[in-house]
């Protein structure tokens, strides 16, 4: 096709999109770009190409992307197509049965409430029973509600910890899936229905109905009661000084009620970050893992002489924990996701022994998470499973009583929520800390006790953020074609490529490198952000030895990725 022909086709796609867009904001945005593009403005044509050459792909993580007009953005047209396609999928799976029930939740991001209510109207219009949660709430409440209400499915409108101008659409299935996020082949089947709706070309003709329901407050009450029961406050909780931040998200209201029900002392909240605010004014990236995101929490902790900092991400499905450390900059250190995950795994294993969890009970983590969890499972005679990344896989591990992934995700209460839950994980962590406090020990002492019992594990992660996703493919291809023989002074003994097939795992774009000293490096593209990630895990004879090993390995891996990129 000629350049003119390509431009004409692009303009036609944009005009067709504009004709069906019900949102005055994105209509005005697109009209302005179209007017400039029709004048031949190269920058506007390039902007249209970015918005309309392709569409946001629906996969096992649902949808996630930048807000704005176009098929490659999050907006009301795309949401309408997704909701109508998902409704068609659910009706196809339940022919002749009672109307499937779908629960819809939403957080405090821009347009979350609009997307949620659009979805509910379309679900109801398609003949489903649609129930919207009573207000903006954490993602774990939606995951809980799917099971609690016996729903066929759930949708949560959230982009979790993504940048402020993103939003997303996360999908859960009930029934045999037990409230877990979707996996293949459901993702492809739903995507096919969505594409059929998109190809029809006009979401304005899709049937809508205001006959959806609003969930009773009892649903939220039931989640609060179940989560408070995870770890009622033990002796030693009195007087605990701690700080909490919701990272401008929706976690605080629900968390505060759970703390009261469980009997924990109220924290000092980070006042500037405690209320939902989709603009995230105090952080450039609302992810507790990102540099600077916890600075206000540390400042509050110093002012109040706190013993502990706990943070949720904006939709409260992740948990971050920090403790005082005189050697750290600012006097506070955030624990890694692996450190928190191993402590909570230790707690789960002890509980399993005391409660006679059964011969099938197991611990599970993603393949990029610390191998220390397997040491815990072996110590307590429990099963152990490694899965692909994502709680859609971890939640399906046989006999799973606890699961985690290093990206601050923890599943501590699988009978209640089959997904990561930063609120129940916070309660479990408070239980561990206050029990230790009653014995005169600190969180730092718990970390020491873990290492002395199970071994000295250390980990690191290298993220390569890219503007062009092709760079990630280039690096992965180069690694597959020429795997390094050594990383630093250590020989690479063998590797596995999950894309080629590895027993026990679905195929995935993941490479694992095994080193002669027992260290491990895993490289994969991020599933939610334009990043390539490398995960490093080592063990040593002491904490200092393990740390030295992981620092040296990180330098070698970083150099390799820079060379290949």
Listed residue (313, 329, 161, 536) closest to 321, CA to CA: 313
Burial class (CB in 10 A: 0-12, 13-18, 19+), 496: middle
pLDDT score, position 95? 77
CA distance 507 to 144: 29
Rg of the Cα atoms in the chain: 24
Phi, psi torsion values for 204, nearest 5 degrees: -65, -20
- 387, 365 contact by CB (below 8 A): yes
Phi, psi torsion values for 510, nearest 5 degrees: -140, 135
- 181, 169 contact by CB (below 8 A): no
Question: Tokens standing for 506?
Answer: 């679905």
Superfamily of structural domain 456-564: Alpha-D-phosphohexomutase, C-terminal domain (3.30.310.50)
User: What residues of the chain score a pLDDT lower than 70?
Assistant: 1-5, 357
For 527-558, give the DSSP string. SSSSEEEEEEEEEESSHHHHHHHHHHHHHHHH
pLDDT score, position 392? 95
CA distance 334 to 245: 13
DSSP bridge pairs for 105: 156
Residues 178-190: tens digit of each pLDDT: 999 999 999 999 9
Residue spans per domain, the chain: 1-53, 59-215, 218-454, 456-564
Burial class (CB in 10 A: 0-12, 13-18, 19+), 317: buried
pLDDT score, position 353? 82
Q: Do domains 59-215 and 218-454 have the same CATH topology?
A: yes
Max Cα distance, the chain (Å): 76
pLDDT score, position 507? 87
Which CATH class for the 218-454 domain?
alpha beta
DSSP state, residue 335: P
Length of the chain: 565
CATH topology of domain 59-215: Alpha-D-Glucose-1,6-Bisphosphate; Chain A, domain 3 (3.40.120)
- 203, 81 contact by CB (below 8 A): yes
Give helix then strand counts, H and E, for the chain.
Answer: 17, 22
DSSP bridge pairs for 225: none
CA distance 360 to 358: 6
Residue 370 annotated among the catalytic residues of the structure: no
pLDDT score, position 364? 98
CB-based contacts of 528, cutoff 8 Å, min separation 6:
61, 64, 160, 162
Exposure string over 532-550, b if 16+ CB within 10 A, otherwise e:
bbbbbbbbbeeeeebeebb
CA distance 122 to 397: 34
Helix axes 422-438, 217-228, angle to 10 degrees: 30
CA distance 428 to 344: 7
Question: Tokens standing for 306?
Answer: 């706190």
Listed residue (12, 111, 5, 1) closest to 52, CA to CA: 12
CB-based contacts of 199, cutoff 8 Å, min separation 6:
none
pLDDT score, position 471? 93
In the set 112, 160, 451, 556, the catalytic residue is 160
pLDDT score, position 526? 86
State the pTM of this model: 0.94
């Amino acid at each position: 096709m000629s350049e003119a022909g390509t431009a004409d086709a692009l303009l036609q796609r944009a005009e067709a999109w504009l004709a069906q867009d019900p949102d005055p904001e994105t209509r005005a945005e697109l009209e302005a770009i179209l007017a400039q593009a029709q004048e031949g403005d190269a920058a506007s044509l390039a902007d249209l190409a970015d918005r309309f050459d392709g569409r946001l792909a629906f996969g096992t993580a649902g949808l996630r992307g930048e807000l704005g007009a176009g098929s490659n953005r999050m907006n009301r047209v795309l949401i309408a197509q997704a909701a109508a396609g998902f409704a068609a999928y659910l009706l196809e799976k339940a022919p002749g049965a009672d109307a499937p029930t779908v629960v819809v939740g939403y957080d405090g991001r821009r347009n979350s409430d609009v997307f949620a209510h659009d979805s509910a109207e379309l679900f109801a219009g398609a003949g489903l029973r649609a129930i919207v949660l009573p207000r903006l709430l954490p993602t774990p409440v939606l995951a809980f509600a799917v099971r609690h209400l016996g729903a066929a499915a759930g949708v949560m409108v959230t982009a979790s910890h993504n940048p402020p101008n993103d939003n997303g659409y996360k999908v859960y299935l009930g029934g045999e899936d037990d409230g877990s996020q979707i996996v293949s082949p459901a993702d492809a089947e739903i995507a096919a229905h969505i594409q059929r709706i998109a190809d029809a070309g006009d979401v304005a003709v899709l049937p809508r109905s205001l006959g959806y329901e609003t969930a009773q407050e009892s649903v939220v009450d039931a989640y609060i009661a179940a989560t408070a029961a995870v770890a009622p406050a033990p002796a030693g909780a009195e007087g605990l000084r701690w700080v909490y931040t919701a990272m401008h998200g929706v976690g605080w209201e629900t968390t505060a009620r759970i703390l009261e029900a469980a009997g924990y002392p109220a924290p000092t909240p980070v006042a500037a970050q405690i209320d939902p605010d989709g603009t995230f004014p105090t952080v450039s990236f609302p992810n507790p893992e990102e540099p600077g995101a916890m600075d206000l929490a540390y400042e509050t902790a110093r002012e109040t002489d706190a013993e502990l900092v706990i943070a949720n991400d904006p939709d409260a499905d992740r948990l971050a924990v920090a403790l005082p450390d005189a050697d750290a900059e600012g006097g506070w250190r955030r624990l890694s996701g692996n450190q928190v995950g191993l402590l909570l795994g230790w707690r789960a294993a002890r509980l399993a022994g005391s409660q006679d969890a059964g011969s099938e009970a197991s611990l599970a983590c993603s393949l990029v998470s610390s191998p220390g969890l397997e040491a815990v499972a072996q110590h307590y005679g429990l099963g152990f499973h490694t899965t692909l990344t994502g709680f859609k896989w971890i939640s399906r591990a046989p006999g799973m009583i606890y699961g985690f992934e290093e990206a601050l995700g923890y599943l501590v209460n699988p009978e209640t929520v089959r997904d990561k839950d930063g609120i129940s994980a916070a309660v479990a962590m408070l239980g561990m800390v206050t029990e230790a406090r009653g014995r005169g020990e600190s969180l730092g002492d718990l970390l020491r006790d873990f290492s002395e019992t199970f071994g000295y594990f250390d980990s690191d992660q290298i993220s390569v953020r890219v503007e062009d996703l092709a760079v990630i493919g280039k690096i992965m291809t180069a690694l597959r074609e020429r795997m390094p023989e050594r990383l630093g002074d250590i020989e690479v003994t063998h590797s596995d490529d999950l894309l080629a097939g590895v027993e026990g795992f679905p195929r995935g774009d993941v490479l694992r490198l095994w080193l002669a000293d027992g260290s491990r490096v895993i490289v994969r593209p991020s599933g939610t952000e334009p990043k390539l990630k490398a995960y490093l895990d080592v063990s040593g004879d002491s904490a200092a030895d393990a740390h030295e090993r992981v620092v040296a390995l990180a330098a070698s891996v970083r150099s390799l990725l820079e060379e290949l990129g």
